[in-house]
Amino acid sequence: MERWVEETLHRGFRVRLKADRVLFDSETEHQHLVIFENEDFGRVMMLDHVVQLATKDDFIYHEMMAHVPLFAHGRAKKALIIGGGDGGVLREALKHPELEDITLCEIDRSVLTLCREHFPDISAGAYDDPRTRIVIADGTKFVAETDDRFDLIMVDSTDPIGPGAVLFTKEFYTGCRRCLKPGGILVTQNGLPFLQADELKQSVGFFRGLFRDAFAYLATTPSYFGGPMSYGWATDYVEARRYRIDAIERRYADAGAFPTRYWRPDVHVASFALPNYIRELVE
């Protein structure tokens, strides 16, 4: 008998993916988690009925979450990932030789355990890299209490439902501001502006009260149905999103010009060129 798994994130429409083979389907301590095979998207993970990861297009989201802020900063030594238990953003960040230390703060240990088992190519050994430190904790509590200070914070969260809801609050962003070093950069997963406009508008509004520069950039990941994905952007380092292609190319060369499948210097620069309907949300 055929099984179809339904995504229920949006109020006005739902998407179903055929589950050719279900590998895991159960409640964890914090959320409902399903892992299955799909002919078009590869191996898929859904949390609370929302697609989080698909192996055929994960490179888009993970490269853009990591490489845009890292190359924009240019001298980051210490980074923090909130969420990101699948290890994809961690994998991409570790490609930057200048990074000396990366903390991964994930609330749900089951995500790490299951992704080690079912998605080993996503993390590609990143969990065990000597520069990696894994903390199982609530991200809001971590940024409010840690004594560490970071050059970069990447919030690879779920949507604002379930345990991910607190990662879209002013309290959380204030905590991130607290533990950023001077000139540090905060980037966040901020949903699909066409369908989740209020989410992006609210987050950038919070950023504007905390940072000198509050904006967003875009990338399109096919398994996130409904248009381009927005990444929130916040920093006091105003020049960070205004570098020209030649400057990003130099930084990429200095980092070893490692292979990428989506990110590239011209895509980096172009990702900050927002259509008017999105620009109106962030200005």
Q: How far apart are CA 90 and CA 104, in angstroms?
A: 8
- Give Cα 142 to chain centroid, integer Å: 17
Of 62, 61, 21, residue with least CA distance to 42: 21
Burial of 141 (0-12, 13-18, 19+ CB in 10 A): middle
Instruction: Provide the phi-psi class of 59: left if phi over 0, else alpha when psi is between -120 and 50, else beta.
Output: alpha
Q: 217-253: buried (b, 16+ CB within 10 Å) or exposed (e) per residue?
A: bbbebebbbbbbbbbbbbbebeebbebeeebbbebbe
Of 63, 76, 121, residue with least CA distance to 102: 76
Catalytic residue among 156, 198, 213, 236: 156
Instruction: Provide the phi-psi class of 127: left if phi over 0, else alpha when psi is between -120 and 50, else beta.
Output: alpha
User: Strands 132-136 and 32-38, how do they pair?
Assistant: unpaired
Say whether 246 is catalytic.
no
Active-site amino acid positions: 156
